[in-house]
Amino acid sequence: MLKAKQHEKEWSVEELNIIFKPLNFKERIAKIYDYFPETEVLMTSSFGTKSVFLLHLLQQIHPSQLIYFINTTYHFPETIAYKEQLTKQFNLKIKEVLPSEKENLITQQDQWWIQHPRMCCTVNKIAPLDPIVAKHKVWISGLMAYQTEFRSRLDIFEQRGDIIKFQPLVDIDEGEFLYHLDFHKLPRHPLEKEGYGSIGCTHCTEKGQGRDGRWVRGGSKECGLHPNFFTRK
């Protein structure tokens, strides 16, 4: 009955941050379902170098959660293989999201990632996910404050347009993150050992520490999914 009442209430990010801040990351992930039903909780994964930690936690705490994978058509083959490996190992529920075939072809033919990287992200990442985001109230994200300056300013809950971003890992440091990877013997992305600290689409990813290899020519370290892109009309 208490959970039903919590599901009915419209929670502000200020209220949620007060409630969730004293909790550890495992408690936060478990508790989010006390405040939002599973159908209103969105989970996405890029299956990059840092993805396995949150996927493993979710598999332990709430394995029925559906996970969306945005297939931009520009992923490394190693990323696709890694996705299949983790899906099988953790018994994940994955749903693939594809961009418009016509618009995706235009980005391929005109190589938008060179002159129009923001628009390339919009066509292949933002637009396909936008209608899915509109059906949910809260979005689980694996962002951690130590990764970039933008992420260092984040709180556990942030309002992003009409959806609440939920970052249960935001306040763990890199040492704690690496400890958990080693302790649980979690499989690493195969390209990490080749010098890729962060991995996205092939055209916009180079070798480098942390996120230094992302969008080197464009200057940004964040794709459009994390800044304030989503506002329902």
**Location of structure tokens 């953790």:** 90
**Residues 72-90 as b or e (16 or more Cβ within 10 Å = b):** bebbbebbeebbeebbeeb
DSSP 100: -
DSSP 124: I
**What are the C-alpha distances in Å from 113 to residues 37, 107, 141, 202?**
38, 8, 25, 10
Of all helices (H) and strands (E), which one includes residue 139?
Answer: strand 138-140
Short-list 23, 68, 71, 65, CA closest to 167: 23
Q: 223 an active-site residue?
A: yes
Q: Which one of 120, 121, 204, 223 is the catalytic residue?
A: 223
Q: Are the C-beta atoms of 124 and 72 separated by less than 8 Å?
A: yes
Reduced to 3 states (helix: H, G, I; strand: E, B; else coil), residue 117 is: helix
Short-list 110, 43, 48, 40, CA closest to 75: 48
Q: Are the C-beta atoms of 192 and 49 separated by less than 8 Å?
A: yes
User: Could you give the residue numbers annotated as active site?
Assistant: 223
